[in-house]
Amino acid sequence: MITPNIPMAGLSEEEVSQRVRDGLVNDLSTPPSRSLLAIVRANVLTLFNGIVVAGFSLLLFLGQWRDALFGLAAIGNALIGVVQEYRAKRSLDRLTIVHGAMARVVREGNVQEIPAHDVVLDDLLLLCAGDQVPADAHIVGPGSLEVDESLLTGESAPVTKHRGDVLLAGSLVFTGSCHTRVFRVGHETFANRLAADAKRFSLVSSEIRTGINRVLRVLAWVVLPVTLLVLNSQLLQQGGWEAALASGAWAQSAVSTVASTIAMIPLGLVLMTSVAFAVGAVRLAGQKVLVQELAAVEVLARVDVLCLDKTGTLTDGRMAFDAVHQLRGEVQDGWRQALAWFGANEPANATSLSIGDAFPLKVQLTPLSSVPFDSTRKWSSVTLPNLQGDSSTWILGAPEVVFAGESPDCRLARQRAGELVLSGVRTMGMSRSSQCTEATESALPGDCEPVLVLTLRESIRWDAPRTLAYFREQDVTIKILSGDDPRTVGLLARKLGLENPDAIDASKLTGDPAALQDLVDAHSVFGRVSPEQKRELVLALQRRGHTVAMTGDGVNDTLALKVADLGIAMDSAAPATKAVARIVLLDGRFSRLPAVVAEGRRVINNMERVSMLFLSKTAYALVISLLCGALLLPFPFLPRQLSAIDGLTIGLPAFFLALLPNRHDYTRGFLRRSLAFSIPAGVAIAVGITALNFYVQATGRFSVDQARSASSMALALIGSWILAVIARPLNLRKAAVIAAMYLGTVIVFTFPPLSGFFRLEWPPGDLFLATFVVAVASSTAVEIAGRLRRSPPPRPHGEGP
């Protein structure tokens, strides 16, 4: 390690102590994103949970524990919600950009190693190769550094820094050493400001969850008034409020009211949605895809714009040899040996590794002298013996340096290198001299002759072309948002076959939101994009109505990943990026994304069917409650009877439906299509059940238990037919599930332990006939509703590559 000889004493102990007292310390900790208490409160203290707990408690108070089974579903919903949000909270709380490494500071003239979080404002840092910059700092004094800022800015090429240049916290030093003065610490650093923006708590935008929440918001305004209407009608059935309270008959009215209220709330739908998401997450985990928020499984199935970072996402971070462009036709093959030596002996970096791959060293070469690469010189050299008995010195470095002479050959060489750079490749120049070079020299020999230009390109991930082709087949628009040079990004886009591959230089963009929306709609490739601009471009796409997924691996991607509908991180991503992302590709295979699309389609298409089951129940429960309240009819079910019917016609079938394979395309309108079937079907069921109870009252020959049993049987038969309608097209597995539900209905009514527990009995002759007629009529109406439901024809797709 070479320490620059700079007469700087750094801060005194008193100055350090004063800055610590003033809070000017490089505190890397960040406040938690959301407290556990707030998460519990949000998931437990809700209106519907309050209604469920009130009904549950009332039934227990009345000793009707058999009718309180619905409480288990409410507990399951609350637990799953808390666990999901707590997992997201923990990921955000672990978000960090600057690792808590050691830092070298100069204080009172002495070099000290201290933890990075003990660095204070104005500290004098000594940075050398291999260090991570602990705080934002300016370079002071002589010396230079070559740093990797790719995680922060997206620029994949190492950047050379000189006196006065800014170093960002989190950057990695490749080569060189120098002193720097800290000017921003802790939360004020660029890296930590990104972390603070990324840590704002949010949940992924799920159409399933949004649709269900919309239904629940409507029900919140309806349930309590309808509950009071039903309670009033049930008490009037018992002779009025005063008589019911005096005789104790109010208890049975309360049980019926609880039954009507709980039936209107689709408790199982929330639970089944979480189960479907969880199963999808487990399946994807087997394919090395980590789902950090369960609802993310669904989102990629709806994405119509996929935004990609370049470095680490489309490319694998390595440089690949492109071509050799000889500048002098008479040059002998000595340059091949020289390149092989550079590839084998230069410090391992992306450039030397790519040269070594292209020109492997086959015979051990003993140089007469060599000069290692230095970021200040920007060249390295080796002197090798020739077969003729003399020697040649080969100089490899930046073209503007190794071709710096004013001869016609040098001017043509610089021109050629500039033309190649415009095509988007990276260039290295090689010249030859007859003089030996020494490590102490900073100037090149005067007789350097240009020999060749070596071009390098970033190595494209092997699975990127196939995966992008798959998304184009799915009508998903591809956008590349990169912090790298626009020319480099444009070259990559052309190699990947993107439409309109000419890159826009984002550093020249204005902040006009309307202009930004037009630009991001019209163009597909953007270079020199800052972290804030990535976020604004994603937001501009969302304002145009697009569902946007963003992939990345750098800290510069965190803000965009955070606001995107779905953030996807690669396995090589920074810890901060992984914490913000909803999905992490654990093995870094870009080709995993089509499997996520397939799983998302399976979940959302199956959950659309499942939602029809649950929302049909909500619809018929609401209409039956309104009719009973308005017509002063007894509510036709006990809570336990509704629990049994729900289990047979909704709960168990929903579980099977949610897990079935389903690769059909998905079209927006999940809630609209669900309600288009559920409301007519629910109304048809409610009218049929109400007509059956009018018949019971008109004859006056049947008991309350017989009337409830007939209503329960009719509801079970119709519910099974709803299952048959929404499960189409039927196959052997689906037909078996439907047949099992019909068989289950017979068992519940005929098997004494079950029929006794649920207070069900087989209806007598003419009541059974009336029940059958109502079931057939309502099932016919359900069949018509299913055929009239507007739904795009399914078009199956494979899983892609």
Residue 473's CB is within 10 A of a number of other CB atoms, namely 12
Q: Is 309 a catalytic residue?
A: yes
Task: Please state the separation of Cα 346 from the chain's center in Å.
Answer: 40
Backbone angles phi, psi at 319, to 5 degrees: -95, 145
Beta carbons within 8 Å of 388's beta carbon, 6+ residues apart: none
Q: Is 724 exposed, middle or buried (0-12, 13-18, 19+ CB in 10 A)?
A: buried
Which amino acid is residue 637, in one-letter code?
F
Residues 6+ apart with CB under 8 A from 777: 688
Cβ–Cβ under 8 Å, residues 391 and 368:
yes
Helix (H) or strand (E) holding 696, with range, is: helix 670-699
Tokens 């809070």 sit on residue = 23
Contact (Cβ atoms closer than 8 angstroms) between residue 343 and residue 380? no
User: DSSP characters for 593-642?
Assistant: HHHHHHHHHHHHHHHHHHHHHHHHHHHHHHHHHHHHHHHTPPP---HHHH
d(CA 606, CA 77): 19
Q: Which two tokens stand for residue 86?
A: 């707590």
Here the tokens at position 280 are: 């999808």
Beta strands 566-570 and 583-585 are parallel
Burial class (CB in 10 A: 0-12, 13-18, 19+), 389: exposed
Tell me how far apart the terminal alpha carbons of the chain are, to the nearest angstrom: 49
Helix axes 71-93, 36-44, angle to 10 degrees: 150
Question: Are 501 and 173 spatial neighbours (Cβ–Cβ below 8 Å)?
Answer: no
- Calculate the CA 298 to chain-centre distance: 10
Cα→Cα distances 715→153, 684, 755, Å: 62, 11, 16
**How many Å apart are CA 625 and CA 618, to the nearest integer?**
10
Six-digit token pair at 770?
């009336």
Cα separation, 27 vs 187, whole angstroms: 7
Structural tokens at position 354: 């790519």
**At CA 422, angle to CA 421 and CA 427, rounded to 5?**
5
Give the neighbor-by-neighbor strand order of the sheet with 525-527.
289-291, 583-585, 566-570, 548-552, 305-308, 477-481, 525-527, 504-505
Helices 593-631 and 670-699 cross at an angle (nearest 10°) of 30
634 close to 707: Cβ distance less than 8 angstroms: yes
Reference 447, options 436, 457, 438; nearest CA is 436
SS3 of 527, please? strand
Q: With contact defined as beta carbons under 8 Å apart, do 265 and 48 qualify?
A: yes
> Considering 123, 131, 148, 309, which one is annotated as catalytic?
309
Instruction: Give the whole-angstrom CA distance, residue 129 versus residue 143.
Output: 12
Residue 93: count of CB within 10 angstroms of its CB: 15
How far is the C-alpha of 563 from the C-alpha of 538, rounded, in Å?
7
Query: Between vectors from CA 605 to CA 604 and to CA 611, what angle results, nearest 5°?
Result: 80
Radius of gyration of the chain (CA): 36
What span, in angstroms and rounded, lies between the C-alpha atoms of 176 and 373? 10
Quote the CA–CA distance of 328 and 407 in Å, as a whole number.
14
Rounded CA-CA distance 3/126 in Å is: 8
Positions annotated as catalytic residues are 309
